[in-house]
A and B are shown apart, each in its own frame.
Chain A
Amino acid sequence: MLTKYKSLWLSILVIALGLLAIDLISGIRPDIIFKSIVISAFGSIYGLSETLTKSIPLMLCGLGLSLAFRSSVWNIGAEGQLLMGAIGATWVALYIMPNVPGPILIPVMFLVGAIFGGIWALIPAILKVKFNLNEIIVSLMMNYIAIELVNYLVYGPWKSPYEWGFPYSTKFPLSAQLPRISNTRIHYPTLIIAVILAVVFYIILNRSKFGYEMRVVGDNMEAARYAGLDISRVILLVLILSGGLAGLAGVGEVAGIHHRLRVASGISPGYGYTAVIVAWLGRLNPLLIIIVSFLFGGLLVGGDAIQVSLGLPGATINFINGLILIFLLVQSFSRGRASLTRKRRSEV
């Protein structure tokens, strides 16, 4: 019988084995790797600023995912929703309002990006509500459609004539480029939006009517039904919000960092998936998510750094992320919360 103690030991064993694997395979001791990551991510002003920069999309996506997960809606399409937001921002900046001044242009970019992301999430939402389709599968598939869409645009109709055939869109006009904190890549408008929204959603989740509905639907859908709550409405709204937040992250990336649209892998190295861990580790608590995003941002920065300093492949961070996730999974059994799943009527 798997007791809570045994699973605690098991989760520690998982970590130990993982560290051992890194040691044996790469030839580098895990504590050296760890130190390298920490120092590069948090040990210098530059590192901290990069960490903060990378934490912005994690915050926004993580926030969106936590809303969905809280309502027992398994949105794993944040990656695609982010990219759609990026497309939306690019569209506005380059094709819709290229000559509009910044103070008007930028809010519109954010708005359109959020709408694009929201619509992208709306599709699995409608399919779930109308056809009872499993949102995990649909949102996952939509990720890859979005990735290909971005790639199509930058290799095709939106490819810049000024970039020697490289898959970039035209550079954004200055008015579409988000201001940064000097000497860093921190596009602070997005950061401010992220923090404000985190607080807003914390309030919404815990103190608003809609947040209440989300929590009831997430914790006991049957009781929600019996009390007359409109479950479909909750699912639709939650997914739209979730997608919208990821869309904002996408706007931030193209308008704040790259100042153009590029291939999907250049815009997001899997932020949407890392955000899943962030959302879960952040205990689906908006304020905790900000902190966790920062930590994982540091992990990403560290991951880049150890490629250079220790010669480790970039995939090492994936390994660490996966290890953390498994650890959390196994360990949560010992806290009796292994099942984030809830019994649901049979779905396709």
Chain B
Amino acid sequence: MGRILLMKGITKRFGNIVANDRVDFELNRGEIHGLLGENGAGKTTLMNILYGIYTPDEGDIYINGTRVNIRSPYDAIRFGISMVHQNFKLVQSHTVAENVALGLKDTGFFYPTRSVERKIEEFSKRYGFKIDPNTPVWQLSAGEKQRVEIIKAFCRDAKIFILDEPTTMLTPIEIKELFNLLKLLREEGVSVVLITHKLDEVMDVCDRVTILRGGKRVDTVDTGKVDKEDLARMMFGQDINLRPRTQFVSSFEKDVVLEVRDLTVLNDKGLPAVKDVSFDIHRGEIFGIAGVSGNGQRELIEAITGLRKVARGSIRILGEDVTNMKVKEILNRRVAHIPEERMRLGIVPSMSLEDNVILRNYDKSPFSNGLLLDYNVISDYARDLIAEYRISAQDSKVPAGTLSGGNIQKLILARELSISPVLIIASHPTQGLDVRSSQQIHNLLVKKKEEGCAILLVSEDLQELLDLSDRIAVMFNGSIRGIKDIEEVSIDEIGSLMVGV
């Protein structure tokens, strides 16, 4: 069959995070090759490099044996590479034909949609679909939109299709249709890279699969020669250890702090991202939710913190119904929120540490009395927190954005934890941090737990979850699966649940 693509020694860094670490990846003609790994494993980064959205710091790309330089999507398209993104890159108000025609060079300047319409019909006939080229895209279903994306690739004579988590928005029937289509394309000699974290799909439709973990390539195997458990193990690694729990705090009554019942939350596109989720979190307990990003965790947190409306179901904090309350009202009930993206959502980088530290309670005394803020009190408060949380900063007046990642996170924790919360929502709290900072953050969370806080910990870092959680659940495709006490859980089990086994 022959090799069509070779990526050799690809390394890509973002700051001091190594997203891809000397990764090799090869693709044969007429093959469907899965790219498997957790988020942060580097698979999207690798493919973004192939598609010209990023340039690698080191490494080379060879197409058909010739070394190539891909500096933009324009180059990638020229080399026959086409990427179907997870959030469809379609102009919603334009028709199918206009979207497909976008960027095509050989359609003729006038009436470019005419030649495209022909190709669309040809494609539909060949693969058994019906897509009306003149429908505006916003009217199409998710499955149809995806087909438009594939038609786009097809019309560019792509020889390499990259599909990024293509089944996220599809119904089971649509998934089946997609896979049939992929198999037909394969017969024609097209190569497909399928980025996914769902093992079922890998086993279903891929010929080979490459597993990435922590930016490095673990292995490349034939799917016929392995089973799902093998794959899960490769994804999550053997070096995760279940540390013996230091203490399972039982000195508190098992008061329920957070009660979530039958919660359904819609995402930005109006589809359910959280489906009928129910769980409780008790005082003095860390409840971990494992799972690959994009399975509804963000929407779940937004619903609990008041940032997103709830479609169905209820949320109660200390017995009080807080469903659909405003953010401020929920936070005032002593809920701490450590958001996922610290720079963008957690701090105001241009403002001083002092200003950031009072973001939650600037309107309460003693920080303000009447209309004015009392900067004397605020400065002292900031200084105390900086000392207590060991934040390294010159003084409390420097802009928060100048701190290192770990210190920013400590700042956020300082602010959130010092309101004596009853409930802490921590979303990926140590993402992108070095080991020492992560350790410090963990210690802070455990301390709060010992004081009786209930903590909801959402993370993709399985080690972190296993280290900290008292109970752990997995979120997959909007549903919570398998809530278990930490002693009763095995890594294989979690890993499998995370990828939909």
Instruction: Name A residues whose Cβ lies closer than 8 Å to a Cβ of B.
Output: 203-204, 207-210, 212, 215-216, 219-220, 222-230
Residue on A with the closest CB to B358?
Answer: A212
Instruction: Name B residues whose Cβ lies closer than 8 Å to a Cβ of A.
Output: 305-307, 326-332, 337, 339, 344-351, 355, 358-360, 362-363, 368, 371-373, 375
CB distance from A244 to the nearest CB of B (A): 17
Asked if B326 and A207 sit within 8 Å, CB to CB, the answer is no
Asked if A228 and B327 sit within 8 Å, CB to CB, the answer is yes
Asked if B337 and A226 sit within 8 Å, CB to CB, the answer is yes
Instruction: Point out the residues of chain B lying under 8 angstroms from A210, CB to CB.
Output: 371
Asked if B345 and A223 sit within 8 Å, CB to CB, the answer is yes
Asked if A216 and B328 sit within 8 Å, CB to CB, the answer is no
Instruction: Point out the residues of chain A lying under 8 angstroms from B326, CB to CB.
Output: 228
* CB < 8 Å neighbour of A226 from B339, B355, B358: B339
CB distance from B371 to the nearest CB of A (A): 5
Asked if B344 and A219 sit within 8 Å, CB to CB, the answer is no
Evaluate whether A207 and B307 lie within 8 angstroms (CB atoms) in the complex, with A216-B351, A227-B331, A228-B327 already known: no
**Contacts beyond the supplied A220-B348, A223-B348: 7 A-B pairs with Cβ under 8 Å:** A209-B373, A212-B362, A215-B351, A223-B346, A226-B346, A227-B360, A228-B326
A209 vs B375: C-alpha distance in the bound complex, in angstroms?
11
A202 vs B212: C-alpha distance in the bound complex, in angstroms?
55
* CB < 8 Å neighbour of A223 from B328, B344, B373: B344
Asked if A223 and B371 sit within 8 Å, CB to CB, the answer is no
Residue on B with the closest CB to A227?
Answer: B359
A210 vs B373: C-alpha distance in the bound complex, in angstroms?
9
* CB < 8 Å neighbour of B359 from A204, A208, A216, A222: A216
Asked if A219 and B327 sit within 8 Å, CB to CB, the answer is no
A131 vs B349: C-alpha distance in the bound complex, in angstroms?
29
CB distance from A238 to the nearest CB of B (A): 16
- Cross-chain pairs A/B with CB under 8 angstroms, 16 sampled: A208-B373, A209-B363, A209-B371, A209-B372, A212-B355, A212-B373, A215-B355, A216-B355, A220-B349, A223-B345, A226-B307, A226-B327, A226-B345, A226-B346, A227-B360, A229-B328
Identify the 9 closest CB pairs spanning chains A and B, nearest first.
Answer: A228-B328, A228-B327, A220-B348, A227-B359, A219-B350, A219-B348, A228-B331, A226-B345, A209-B368
Residue on A with the closest CB to B345?
Answer: A226
Residue on A with the closest CB to B364?
Answer: A209
A222 vs B350: C-alpha distance in the bound complex, in angstroms?
14
Asked if B372 and A223 sit within 8 Å, CB to CB, the answer is no
Instruction: Point out the residues of chain B lying under 8 angstroms from A227, CB to CB.
Output: 327, 331, 359-360
Instruction: Point out the residues of chain B lying under 8 angstroms from A225, CB to CB.
Output: 307, 327
Instruction: Point out the residues of chain A lying under 8 angstroms from B349, CB to CB.
Output: 219-220
Residue on A with the closest CB to B361?
Answer: A227
A220 vs B346: C-alpha distance in the bound complex, in angstroms?
10
Residue on A with the closest CB to B374?
Answer: A207
Instruction: Point out the residues of chain A lying under 8 angstroms from B355, CB to CB.
Output: 212, 215-216
Asked if B306 and A228 sit within 8 Å, CB to CB, the answer is yes
Instruction: Point out the residues of chain A lying under 8 angstroms from B339, CB to CB.
Output: 226
Instruction: Point out the residues of chain B lying under 8 angstroms from A207, CB to CB.
Output: 372-373, 375
A120 vs B375: C-alpha distance in the bound complex, in angstroms?
35
Residue on A with the closest CB to B302?
Answer: A226
A210 vs B371: C-alpha distance in the bound complex, in angstroms?
8
A228 vs B345: C-alpha distance in the bound complex, in angstroms?
12
A126 vs B312: C-alpha distance in the bound complex, in angstroms?
30
Instruction: Point out the residues of chain B lying under 8 angstroms from A228, CB to CB.
Output: 306, 326-332, 360
Residue on A with the closest CB to B371?
Answer: A208
Instruction: Point out the residues of chain A lying under 8 angstroms from B359, CB to CB.
Output: 216, 223, 227
Instruction: Point out the residues of chain A lying under 8 angstroms from B372, CB to CB.
Output: 203, 207-209
Instruction: Point out the residues of chain B lying under 8 angstroms from A223, CB to CB.
Output: 344-348, 359
Instruction: Point out the residues of chain B lying under 8 angstroms from A219, CB to CB.
Output: 348-351
A203 vs B372: C-alpha distance in the bound complex, in angstroms?
9
CB distance from B91 to the nearest CB of A (A): 13
Residue on A with the closest CB to B350?
Answer: A219
A210 vs B372: C-alpha distance in the bound complex, in angstroms?
8
- Among A203, A222, A223, the one with the most B-chain Cβ atoms within 10 Å of its Cβ is A223
A222 vs B348: C-alpha distance in the bound complex, in angstroms?
9
Residue on B with the closest CB to A217?
Answer: B348
A267 vs B367: C-alpha distance in the bound complex, in angstroms?
45
CB distance from B328 to the nearest CB of A (A): 3
CB distance from A284 to the nearest CB of B (A): 12
A220 vs B347: C-alpha distance in the bound complex, in angstroms?
8
Instruction: Point out the residues of chain B lying under 8 angstroms from A212, CB to CB.
Output: 355, 358, 362, 373
CB distance from A343 to the nearest CB of B (A): 10
A225 vs B339: C-alpha distance in the bound complex, in angstroms?
12
Asked if B351 and A222 sit within 8 Å, CB to CB, the answer is no
Asked if B327 and A216 sit within 8 Å, CB to CB, the answer is no
CB distance from A195 to the nearest CB of B (A): 20
A216 vs B339: C-alpha distance in the bound complex, in angstroms?
17
Residue on A with the closest CB to B305?
Answer: A226
Instruction: Point out the residues of chain A lying under 8 angstroms from B346, CB to CB.
Output: 223, 226
Instruction: Point out the residues of chain B lying under 8 angstroms from A208, CB to CB.
Output: 371-373
- Among A210, A212, A227, the one with the most B-chain Cβ atoms within 10 Å of its Cβ is A227
CB distance from B260 to the nearest CB of A (A): 20
Instruction: Point out the residues of chain B lying under 8 angstroms from A220, CB to CB.
Output: 344, 347-350
A227 vs B419: C-alpha distance in the bound complex, in angstroms?
13
A228 vs B326: C-alpha distance in the bound complex, in angstroms?
7
Residue on A with the closest CB to B399?
Answer: A219
A314 vs B359: C-alpha distance in the bound complex, in angstroms?
50
CB distance from A298 to the nearest CB of B (A): 33
Instruction: Point out the residues of chain A lying under 8 angstroms from B347, CB to CB.
Output: 220, 223
A208 vs B374: C-alpha distance in the bound complex, in angstroms?
9
Instruction: Point out the residues of chain A lying under 8 angstroms from B362, CB to CB.
Output: 209, 212
A216 vs B363: C-alpha distance in the bound complex, in angstroms?
13
Asked if B328 and A222 sit within 8 Å, CB to CB, the answer is no
CB distance from A235 to the nearest CB of B (A): 16
A104 vs B363: C-alpha distance in the bound complex, in angstroms?
36
Instruction: Point out the residues of chain B lying under 8 angstroms from A230, CB to CB.
Output: 328
A219 vs B337: C-alpha distance in the bound complex, in angstroms?
20
CB distance from A31 to the nearest CB of B (A): 40
CB distance from B236 to the nearest CB of A (A): 31
Instruction: Point out the residues of chain A lying under 8 angstroms from B337, CB to CB.
Output: 226
Residue on A with the closest CB to B328?
Answer: A228
A203 vs B373: C-alpha distance in the bound complex, in angstroms?
10
CB distance from A285 to the nearest CB of B (A): 15
Instruction: Point out the residues of chain A lying under 8 angstroms from B331, CB to CB.
Output: 227-228
Instruction: Point out the residues of chain A lying under 8 angstroms from B350, CB to CB.
Output: 219-220
Evaluate whether A222 and B363 lie within 8 angstroms (CB atoms) in the complex, with A228-B326, A228-B328, A229-B328 already known: no
CB distance from B63 to the nearest CB of A (A): 28
Instruction: Point out the residues of chain B lying under 8 angstroms from A209, CB to CB.
Output: 362-363, 368, 371-373
Asked if A216 and B373 sit within 8 Å, CB to CB, the answer is no
CB distance from A243 to the nearest CB of B (A): 21
CB distance from A114 to the nearest CB of B (A): 19
- Among B305, B327, B348, the one with the most A-chain Cβ atoms within 10 Å of its Cβ is B348
Asked if B348 and A216 sit within 8 Å, CB to CB, the answer is yes
CB distance from A338 to the nearest CB of B (A): 15
CB distance from B159 to the nearest CB of A (A): 34
CB distance from A209 to the nearest CB of B (A): 5
CB distance from A268 to the nearest CB of B (A): 32
A226 vs B349: C-alpha distance in the bound complex, in angstroms?
14
CB distance from A234 to the nearest CB of B (A): 13
A220 vs B358: C-alpha distance in the bound complex, in angstroms?
15
A216 vs B354: C-alpha distance in the bound complex, in angstroms?
13
